[in-house]
Structure 1
Amino acid sequence: MASGTPATTALTRLGLAFELHPYDHDPAAASYGLEAAAALSVPPAQVFKTLLVVGDSGLAVGVVPVDRQLDLKAVAAALSLKKVTMAQPADAERSTGYVVGGISPIGQRKVLPTVVDESALGFARVYVSGGRRGLDISLAPADLVAATKATVASIAR
């Protein structure tokens, strides 16, 4: 892949090991994350989606397995907030610099508070968006946490 993304650039700059996993994206896919898991022949629990929430202090990021949902109360608690709601897609795109379906937790335009679901630590490698639809990155969960300066908590249901 000749051109990098902000995610691959950030990982390279940090000296963290990762692998690229391009796949043919179907624009009609009902779930980008489940599509990636199927295309890459990886269990959905090992592929993580990036979701933006908004609370009193602004936007934040939750990273959860693609076959689960973000528990808004749990992510609010992990961020020491009373309440969060899902961010509007346009706000997520504007803040991260990525398009919905290709939002990576790594290399976002603005550094946001990030929480990674603790289930990630159960894998040798996890998969996250590489910064565009049809591209995932695999890396060690500890490297994902380091690259995003994330908190780890139980935030999926």
Structure 2
Amino acid sequence: MNAPAPASPSELLTALGTAHRLHEHPGVTTPVEVCAVLGVPLSETVKTLAFVLPDDRLLLAAMPGHARVRYGPLARAAGVRRPDLTPADAARLARAGLQPGGVSPVVDEPDAVVVFDESVLGMGRIHCGGGRADTSIEIRSADLIAAVAKATTAQIAELPDASAD
């Protein structure tokens, strides 16, 4: 007997009663294109990078869309060594009901490790992955973090220097 398909991030948020809005953007998948269609700057998005830990759990790292991940702090926040961070491939993401380009920190895997950069909490209304490359979720950042039962926050992102413009 096959296991049921994992719930999508939007379905999980709906089940929790968390206010959000799902945006579909067929054929538009790159961050720049998605931001143009949604009418938001990259700095008002949250990207989620997915890794597989040695015990096959997902590690999801959520940070502002214009930030870069700091691997050492991410590994420490997840309680693993830096070499234990292996990027999740499409097959592993599919088992969680996610597609590359649509990774969300809200996932139907109770054992997933989810680490938000601490800057996300104060971002206000954001857009994040909706599970598929052609969908995005609009949600308040505090609601997004609250929707992830075991979420942790840490300084895992390197934000661009605003004065460098």
Range into which the TM-score falls when normalised by the shorter chain: 0.7 to 0.9
Structure 2, unpaired ranges of 5+: 1-6, 159-165
1:131 aligned counterpart, secondary structure? coil
The answer as to 2:68 corresponding to 1:69 is yes
Contact kept? 1:25, 1:134, Cα under 8 Å: yes
The equivalent residue for 2:20 is 18
Classify 1:61/1:13 alpha carbon distance in 2 versus 1 (closer, same or farther; 3 Å).
same
The equivalent residue for 2:119 is 119
Structure 1, unpaired ranges of 5+: none
Paired residue total: 149
TM-score in terms of structure 1 length = 0.81
Taking the TM superposition and a 5 Å limit, the aligned residue runs for 1:87-98 are: 87-98=87-98
Contact kept? 1:102, 1:132, Cα under 8 Å: yes
2:69 aligned counterpart, secondary structure? coil
Alpha-carbon distance in 2 for matches of 1:132, 1:90: 11
User: Cα RMSD over matched residues?
Assistant: 2.1
Contact kept? 1:103, 1:129, Cα under 8 Å: yes
Classify 1:56/1:131 alpha carbon distance in 2 versus 1 (closer, same or farther; 3 Å).
closer
Taking the TM superposition and a 5 Å limit, the aligned residue runs for 1:1-157 are: 6-26=8-28, 32-57=30-55, 58-83=57-82, 84-109=84-109, 111-149=111-149, 150-157=151-158
Greater Cα shift, 84-93 or 63-72: 84-93
| Residues 88-136 of structure 1 deviation map (CA, whole Å, 9 limit, x = unaligned) | 4235424422110122221334540100112212222121111222211
Classify 1:152/1:116 alpha carbon distance in 2 versus 1 (closer, same or farther; 3 Å).
same
Rg larger in 1 or in 2? 2
The one-letter amino acid paired with 2:52 is V
1:132 aligned counterpart, secondary structure? coil
The one-letter amino acid paired with 2:108 is Q
TM-score in terms of structure 2 length = 0.78
The equivalent residue for 2:161 is none
